[in-house]
Amino acid sequence: MISCKKEDTVWETDWGFPLINDTLTLDNLVNDSTLFENPSGYYELDLTRTLLDIDVSEIVDIPDTTIVENFTIAFLNLTMNPGFNFVNSVEEHTFDIPNGAQLQKIILLEGYIDVTVKNPVGTSAIFDVVLPGVIKDGIPFVDQYIAPPGTMANPGIATNTLNLSGYEIDLSGVTGAEWNKFRSQVAVMTDPNGPTVVTTNQDTTKIEATFRDIKIGYARGYFGNQIISDTTEISMDALNTYYGGGMLDLPATSITLELENGVKAGGKATLHFMENENNQASTVSLNSSQIGSPTYINSATGNWGTLAPSYQNWVFDNSNSNIETYLENLGHKHRIGYTFELNPWGNVSGGWDEIFPNSRLVVRLNANMPINVGMDNLVLRDTFEVNLEQDPGSTNVKSGEFVLEADNAYPFRASAELILLDGNKNILHEVIGSSDLESGLYGPIEAESGLNVKKSTSRFVLSEAVLKDINRVKYMIVRVKLNSPDPVTGISEQQSIPVGAFIRVKVRSKLTTENHY
């Protein structure tokens, strides 16, 4: 018996296909809150951020308040003819306002009052409710309720909800020299067309009124000694790719913290700390004699339509702080701790603190600087998920490379490296590009963009060892080392980024495969 065994047909093929074709530019960020164009045609960085913004309702808060009035007769019983007025009362009530505030006048932007009246007698009762110090367009608050007949166990009830928006409330009490107090006047009469009824001293006529959801537009009085303390965190995600190594040189610049006080009351502010952390967990604190030292804040001035806030600035520059070291840490997380104390000296205004609808307490971080950046082997990196599995039974990549072609208009030179990781992010291989991507300053002026553009090519050879582990590769780190060389001296110096700068990138593969059939 003779038999023949046919071997697999094996042949090699060369493949080339594109992986990436893209243009990276800063144009889509211009005119947002981070970048803008200066008159010289270069980008500048705007780090302006609002850290605190408190409006009137957060400075003076009127909590929901319920008042209850109970009325009984002074006799064992009383016969009441139709139209008999059996309640006529003037009462004074107090708002329990937090932070020791002592208010004499408020005007409401919003607010409601829920009123419920309860009638325990056997005829309809007419309730007339007047709030003498609660006025809108010169007219006091007046409302009338008609409650049906009832008993003490099952009183007749009438309810209503009224909108208090725009009402002015006098909180100076009966004497006009008190605070947080308002008056009510209640009259109750039996139905003029109803029957004669008998009431006893066990029958209780009741009124409940709830002030709720009050938002103040104006307030006058003493706002108490209030302390606002916070730690604010600012994130700058664009800097989260910084990996460390090398040096970054930024131009001399400054950062300003600005406090705007739109309240007609004095204050005291303290900046406790300012620090940033980069993604290598390296933290730098801003050092200055201004940190930890209290600064006194003037009251706002003016009145309705003329209110002028007072401002206090803390300026940090190279003469009074380590601001350059602080910024060059490339922190993507910034933490700022501060305290603002309202009325630190007590009631020095004699009850004439004032806030208006446009009064605010605002803390801002201001920093504008040209993007003149000097880089000396500064390393950036990012991580991507990949799937490079192959079937060695049918197709096997024997050799290959990735080819990166770039047209660079940025004034930076870059060398790139690929780091291949397994599913647990353990390093398998490092593949270094064959050459740098040259700075745009080394290239001629491109007619289309009007910028210096340099063309470069870098190859990433995939060795046999890399291809052997290709199925294990689940993540790829792209690590880039940046420099900013001067075209004449070759020394890394600060370079400005021209408006419209870009890098056009094409990545293609060249693979030789062994095929089995």
Q: Which two tokens stand for residue 243?
A: 């990996």
What is the mean predicted confidence (pLDDT) over 32-54? 74
The more confidently predicted of residues 254 and 201 is 201
Cα maximum dimension of the chain: 134
Report phi then psi at 153, rounded to 5.
Answer: -75, -30
Per-residue pLDDT for 250 more than 70?
Answer: no
Classify burial at 105, counting beta carbons within 10 Å of its beta carbon; exposed 0-12, middle 13-18, buried 19 or more: middle
CA distances from 329 to 39, 46, 48, 253, 267 (A): 28, 17, 18, 14, 34
Please report the beta strands in 191-332, taking only residues with DSSP state E, as ranges in sequence order: 197-200, 205-222, 226-235, 242-244, 247-249, 255-261, 267-277, 283-285, 295-297, 310-316
CB 266 within 8 A of CB 344: yes
What is the percentage of the chain residues whose pLDDT exceeds 70? 83
Report phi then psi at 249, rounded to 5.
Answer: -115, 115
Per-residue pLDDT for 29 more than 50?
Answer: no
What is the rounded CA–CA span in Å between residue 3 and residue 111? Answer: 100
pLDDT confidence tier of residue 143, bands split at 50, 70 and 90: very high
Question: What pLDDT score does 47 carry?
Answer: 72
147 torsion bin: left (phi>0), alpha (psi -120 to 50), beta (else): beta
What is the architecture, at CATH level 2, of domain 10-27+374-516?
Sandwich (2.60)
Question: What pLDDT score does 390 carry?
Answer: 61
CB 278 within 8 A of CB 331: yes
What is the rounded CA–CA span in Å between residue 254 and residue 317? Answer: 4
Q: Which two tokens stand for residue 103?
A: 């208010």
Cα angle for residues 289, 291, 293 (degrees, 5° grid): 80
Q: What is the pTM of this model?
A: 0.69
Tell me: the pLDDT tens digits for 260-306? 999 999 999 999 999 999 877 889 999 999 999 999 999 999 999 89
**Domain spans of the chain, in order of start:** 10-27+374-516, 48-55+224-366, 61-222
Tell me: the pLDDT tens digits for 370-392? 666 666 676 767 777 777 666 66
Residue-wise DSSP of 24-72: EESGGGBTSSSEEE-TTSBEEEE--EEEEEE-HHHHS----EEEEEEE-
CB 211 within 8 A of CB 62: yes
CB 70 within 8 A of CB 206: yes
